[in-house]
Amino acid sequence: MTTKVAIVTGASSGIGEETAKRLAGLGYTVYAAARRVDRMWGLVGGRPAQPHLTASGIRPVRLDVTDDDALAAFVKEVVAESGRVDVLVNNAGYGSYGSLEDVPMAEARRQFDVNVFGLARLTQLVVPHMREQRSGYVVNISSIGGKFYEPLGAWYHATKFAVEGLSDSLRLELAPFGVHVVVVEPGAIRTEWAGIAARNLREQSAGTAYADQAARVGAVLARADDPRLTSPPTVVADAVARAVQARRPRIRYVVGRGARPLLLARRLLPDRAFDRLVTTAYRVAGR
């Protein structure tokens, strides 16, 4: 039987790292892609003499999802080596926080380049091979942040709302070819993501009219380090594993502590009532 092949982006830590390990445990050859390849040798028990050959089934690859030429070369190499791509997990992303007024447009564009356009371009490159196989799974790691909103999170939430809409249209386009499109919506997960987002938020907002809001929102983001309030990244990896083993996977997998209650509140509450819920949670002034 031909070994199945998976690509996982953002695999140097957190959700991507755990997902790579989980898929390798299921017997996939996993191309674990990230900008910081030096952080991935722990996935394979140390740097091998030939990086493309590892006993773990995981092949670390240096990749910047905003580099179009690198993406094209990467997919070409994967197909040349393995002859197929069965799973694509689009996990690479980050959170750029700050007021819409203060965040430079260059940073806003970078947020979309990483979180949306990089995801879309890699999908463009992989889908023709899945379509030819008449099988495959595209798993987009979104967020509950694709369904609700926070103060000072306009650009980040805009990217995740975009991933949700992109995935829904893509799902209908690829269904006739036997290719599944799945969205995973994590809640609060213990990774380095929140700490980095909180630190950048405070730096971005220092000395501005939004400094007080930034301190309060940053404090909420920093709670992602508290195991009593969050879930480990393995819950996301487990959801990806369930999806790619299902003949008819769910359209969305909501995972992580607090995710379901929050999305239920967003669905049931009128907008102004949800506004009050958010402003209360973040202790920012509302009208």
**CATH number of 5-191+231-263: 3.40.50.970, 1.20.120.420, 3.10.290.10, 3.40.50.720?**
3.40.50.720
- In the set 28, 31, 156, 210, the catalytic residue is 156
Residue 24 burial by CB count (10 A; 0-12/13-18/19+): exposed, middle or buried?
buried
Per-residue confidence (pLDDT) for residue 47, from 0 to 100: 59
Per-residue confidence (pLDDT) for residue 88, from 0 to 100: 98
Alpha-carbon distance of 163 to 143, in angstroms, equals 9
The reply to whether 156 belongs to the active site is: yes
pTM of the full structure:
0.92
HEC-encoded secondary structure of 5-36: EEEEECCCCHHHHHHHHHHHHCCCEEEEEECC
Please state at what angle helix 211-222 crosses helix 192-205, rounded to 10 degrees.
170
Length in residues, the chain: 287
Per-residue confidence (pLDDT) for residue 53, from 0 to 100: 47
| Residue ranges of the chain with per-residue pLDDT less than 50 | 1, 49, 53
